[in-house]
Amino acid sequence: MTSEKRSSQQQLQPGSVGGSKRMAFAEQELRLISVLVMLIGIGLFLALPFVLSIGSVVFLPLVTALILTILLSPLADRLARLGLPNVLASLGSLIVFLAIVLLALGLVLQPATALFEQLPRMMATIGERFAELRDRFAWLGAANRELSEIIGPTEGREVVLASPSMLEQLAIATPTVLIETLLTILMTFFMIEARVRLRRHLLLDRANIGSSVKAARVMREVQDRVAAYILTVAWINAGVGIIVATGAWLMGVEAPLMWGGLAAILNFVPYIGPLAMTALLALFGIGTAETLFIGLLPAIAYVGLHTVESNIVTPSILGARFTMNPVLILIALSYFSWVWGVFGALLSVPILLTLTAFFDHVGKPNLIGFIFGEPLFKTDLLGLGSEDQERSRQGAE
């Protein structure tokens, strides 16, 4: 072996001075690249809502179709194993999903239209109940007036902004909703129908076997986790809906099927959905019951049911595999609700679960540790391929 080769090997060795300098420079370069990646990621996170909100006609159907494809692909695979062609299996899985959605909406909307006629009477009763409460706490109003007299009147101008009526807003939003629904259904069908070709492309068109195996694992993990989570939560919510409908029927509440279906649908939205269901039950009970306490009984019973379901039943069924950080759930809920409203709230948890399953294989960024000097990713990027380089050196010797 020549002296030049020996000197170059000594520089590459970790104990040598040249090797340590190169390693330190590589670590600094990697940290600089990680800072740039993190800044770009933060910028995309902040700018993405504006892009997604402006282009909601395109992006909302696309994201919804991706989630539905992940959910309905196992059903299409089962139908295909029964002997159905791929096109019919894809169409059958989509028809089953649409039938379930239309049945759920029928259970909610049909009784709701009948109760809509009683809305003025219920609002008048709710006003009377709150007037009674206001009379009981009249001393707070008197104290507020005295405080205002002490502070003195505040001058200001009242600005009233003209806004379109509810019918005008509904007329404007209906064509957009119909177009987005049609696009979602069409994209979902074509994505489900193309799932076999996509799997073949991911598995067979890779440069090496390792990347093919990794792509197959990521695809299978994302599909299994999201589909299993949504189906399990759907069964739990269906049970909640049945219990709510039965309880409403036993308490003599009108349209028990509507309340059961509404409880099942709203339970898909974490935290916000149960709060909205509690508020609706409380307002409906106050507007229809004879006394305030009797009117609040359905809402109190639902809060007790939700407490048991969310703290005992759901964690025991889902287990640790589907347990997510509540802070991440709230961030995803607020983020996608800001972007797409109610539909974003419904899609927030499946999107978060998809990203979690993806980053479990690719690698999660270590943001907190990166601030204190740790690598952004736990994978030792500097050590990748070190064994191969050592083997090549031994072969050269």
Does residue 365 sit in helix, strand or coil?
A: strand
- Give me the residue spans of the domains in the chain: 56-135+175-375
β-sheet bridge partners, residue 365: 377
For residues 237 and 231, is the Cβ–Cβ distance under 8 A?
no
Structure tokens that stand for 142 in this block = 């008197």
Cα distance between residue 192 and residue 223, in whole Å:
12
Give just the sign of the alpha carbon dihedral 77, 82, 85, 90: negative
Express each pLDDT in 362-380 by its tens digit. Answer: 666 666 666 666 666 665 4
Cα distance between residue 378 and residue 366, in whole Å:
7
For residues 42 and 381, is the Cβ–Cβ distance under 8 A?
no
Does residue 377 sit in helix, strand or coil?
A: strand
Express each pLDDT in 111-156 by its tens digit. Answer: 777 777 766 777 777 776 666 666 666 666 666 666 666 665 555 5
Q: Tell me, what amino acid is at 223?
A: Q
DSSP symbol at 311: I
Cβ neighbour number for residue 140 with a 10 Å cutoff? 10
- Give the residue among 268, 231, 269, 233 at the shortest CA–CA distance from 70: 231
Q: How far is CA 87 from CA 98, 121, 193, 299, 380, in A?
A: 17, 52, 6, 46, 45
pLDDT attached to residue 386: 42
Give the chain's largest Cα–Cα span. Answer: 101
For residues 198 and 82, is the Cβ–Cβ distance under 8 A?
no
Q: What is the pLDDT along the chain (397 residues), one digit of tens a residue?
A: 444 445 444 444 545 555 676 766 676 777 777 778 778 878 887 888 788 888 777 888 888 888 888 888 888 888 888 888 888 999 999 999 999 888 888 878 777 777 777 667 777 777 766 666 666 666 666 666 666 666 655 555 555 555 555 445 545 556 677 888 888 889 889 988 888 777 777 666 666 666 667 777 777 777 878 888 888 888 889 999 999 999 888 888 888 888 888 888 888 888 888 898 998 888 888 877 777 778 888 889 999 998 888 888 887 887 666 667 778 888 888 888 888 888 888 888 888 888 887 777 766 666 666 666 666 666 544 444 444 444 444 444 4
Cβ neighbour number for residue 78 with a 10 Å cutoff? 13
Q: At how many degrees (to 10) do helices 119-136 and 138-151 cross?
A: 70
For residues 50 and 200, is the Cβ–Cβ distance under 8 A?
no
Cα distance between residue 240 and residue 319, in whole Å:
19
pLDDT attached to residue 271: 82
